[in-house]
Structure 1
Amino acid sequence: MNTTPQQNTQDRPARLTVGVVGAGRVGPALAAALQLAGHRPVAVSGVSEASVRRAAALLPDVPLVTPAQVLKAADLVLLTVPDDALPALVEGLAETGAIRPGQLLVHTSGRYGTKVLDPALRAGALPLALHPAMTFTGTSVDVQRLAGCSFGVTAPEELRLAAEALVIEMGGEPEWIAEESRPLYHAALALGANHLVTLVAQSMELLRTAGVEAPDRMLGPLLGAALDNALRSGDAALTGPVARGDAGTVAVHVSELRKHAPEALPGYIAMARMTADRALAHGLLKPELAEDLLVVLADGANGTHGTDGADGTDGANGTDGAPR
């Protein structure tokens, strides 16, 4: 009879006791993944009703206690609180003597490396920064999604192997990030992932306004192909009216957005300018076409009205501007 990974781990002794401070969407999932690898979650802290539910679902039978009690019970402690709350939490735990020498203290913030854990280091803890480059739902699905997920890893050099081993045990792929590069690393992820959600949600709203009944079904294949092409080919995957230099089509877009969704216009103009710059730099956009395009974008940003197209049509080539 086949056995699950968790059944297999029950037949061998746990190597580390694991605690979670901050039962948001990330902490319980990582603790559950460590449990599958043979470690033993023993304590979790959480305040909100949602945190309590997540802990109960992903870490059943693990007691809900205070942060200080979590540190008292666990060899490895996951600090999974919001970025802005992390420095004060670490300082408070150190000042109250909650941190034990030799204790592994792991935070999951993308913004910080291990310097934020200096108060814990002075108390004898072993600091690790392990940031999973993934969005979390707060459900058991997250544990499965950790398979193959990249983790931004920062640690003292003598703890690098231990940090990478923990990531591998959770099913992830460790990617070393230098301490001084953590803010840029995190900005890059936010630019790609967080802003992508905003762009997709905004696109769906505009499609509904245009009368599309199932914008998610319409966008799914298009965005899936665009993402795949971008990951494979980078800037060579650029398509659409900006990359082609269709100034007339872009002028129509600006006019329609000003009319139906003025809040979306600044974002459209900013992204169009960046797209034009990248297309120019990679030889995809002809300089003579870029000039008219940038004039249209400048007029749009200034609130002035240009013509709908250089030849009086809806697009420079008489097209409707659909991506191709």
Structure 2
Amino acid sequence: MERAELVLLAVPDDALPDLVSGLAAVGAWQPGQLVAHTSGRYGTAVLDPARRLGAIPLALHPAMTFTGMSLDLTRLPDCTFGVTAPTAVLPVAQALVVEMGAEPVVIEEEDRVLYHAALAHASNHLVTLAAQSTQLLGSIGVERPDRMLGPLMRASLENALAAGEGALTGPVARGDTGTVAAHAAALAEAPEDISRAYTRLAAVTASRALERGLLSPEQERAITEALARPEKEESE
């Protein structure tokens, strides 16, 4: 590290502060040395112990999921990086991202946590939803749930990214209260994490559909009541 012109720290978020300060304590950071981390949560403030010793701090977070296989390399040209750096060296951070074939997007220091939360919400929770739906289909004897869900989820994602909530379909968007109530009743017998996720997400979807004029207030209220009914009956 002491001889390196560029040091890349790719460790879990919670390990980063102690790693940076520990390396500072042993004098590992050098003046003029570029030090970059790949954490989504942190900007460059976490690198202050290195900066005080003359190192140049950069935050380069790929907005991509990685598996640890060679497949990951092919995904870099299609992704963006959330980049944070002092103004004077921001072009250096952007150039490093471009060298990898990716696109740099500047994220302000104070926005890093919200930026990372948005990515985690979109990526991690999508995996949870896919796993829950796969579990439900498997429980009724569908042998290849992935074949059934794959085309549907890919189309839904593409439509959502292209048209936002204007691409919303399904019983909530139609105000089909009877179907929503039937779903909630059936899922009351499913594992609790699945029923809870469905009812809460359906309620949020109804609320957002109301805000965008896709549902009337009466329709939104009816759907919310239908979603709450199984929980009330269970508690009684």
Question: Shorter-chain-normalised TM-score: which range?
Answer: over 0.9
- The answer to whether 1:155 aligns with 2:155 is no
Instruction: Give distance in 1, aligned partners of 2:182 and 2:117.
Output: 32
| 2:136 paired residue number | 206
| 2:47 paired residue number | 117
The structure 1 segments of at least 4 consecutive aligned residues displaced by more than 2 Å after TM superposition are: 260-263, 298-305
Match of 1:175 among 69, 83, 105: 105
Letter in 2 for 1:141: L
Normalising by structure 2, what TM-score? 0.96
Instruction: Give distance in 2, aligned partners of 1:235 and 1:75.
Output: 46
- The answer to whether 1:241 aligns with 2:171 is yes
Letter in 2 for 1:202: Q
- Percent sequence identity is 60
Cα deviation for residue 162 of structure 1 reads 0.4
Instruction: Give distance in 2, aligned partners of 1:269 and 1:194.
Output: 19
| 1:196 paired residue number | 126
| 2:34 paired residue number | 104
Letter in 1 for 2:137: L
Cα deviation for residue 257 of structure 1 reads 1.3
Q: Give the greater-gyration-radius structure (CA).
A: 1
* Unaligned residue ranges in structure 1 (runs of 5+): 1-70, 306-324
1:294-313 equivalences under 5 Å are 294-304=224-234
Match of 2:15 among 70, 78, 85: 85
* Unaligned residue ranges in structure 2 (runs of 5+): none
Question: 1:199-240 deviations in whole A, cap 9, x for unaligned?
Answer: 001101101112211110011111111000000010101111
Secondary structure at the aligned position of 1:77 is classed as strand
Letter in 2 for 1:137: T
Name the Cα RMSD after superposition: 1.2
Match of 1:227 among 157, 161, 185: 157
Instruction: Give distance in 2, aligned partners of 1:296 and 1:150.
Output: 41
Question: 1:144-170 deviations in whole A, cap 9, x for unaligned?
Answer: 210131000000000110000000000
- The answer to whether 1:258 aligns with 2:149 is no
Instruction: Give distance in 2, aligned partners of 1:263 and 1:192.
Output: 18
Secondary structure at the aligned position of 2:40 is classed as coil
Higher helix share: 2
Check the 8 A contact 1:167/1:173 in 2, yes or no: yes
Question: 1:64-90 deviations in whole A, cap 9, x for unaligned?
Answer: xxxxxxx12321011000000000000
- The answer to whether 1:135 aligns with 2:62 is no
Instruction: Give distance in 2, aligned partners of 1:277 and 1:111.
Output: 29
Cα deviation for residue 276 of structure 1 reads 0.4
Secondary structure at the aligned position of 2:78 is classed as coil
Letter in 1 for 2:187: L
Cα deviation for residue 304 of structure 1 reads 4.4
Match of 1:274 among 204, 215, 223: 204
Letter in 1 for 2:190: H
Cα deviation for residue 303 of structure 1 reads 4.6
Secondary structure at the aligned position of 1:112 is classed as coil
Secondary structure at the aligned position of 2:2 is classed as helix
Match of 2:2 among 37, 51, 72: 72
Instruction: Give distance in 2, aligned partners of 1:188 and 1:115.
Output: 21
Choose 292-301 or 89-98, whichever is displaced more. Answer: 292-301
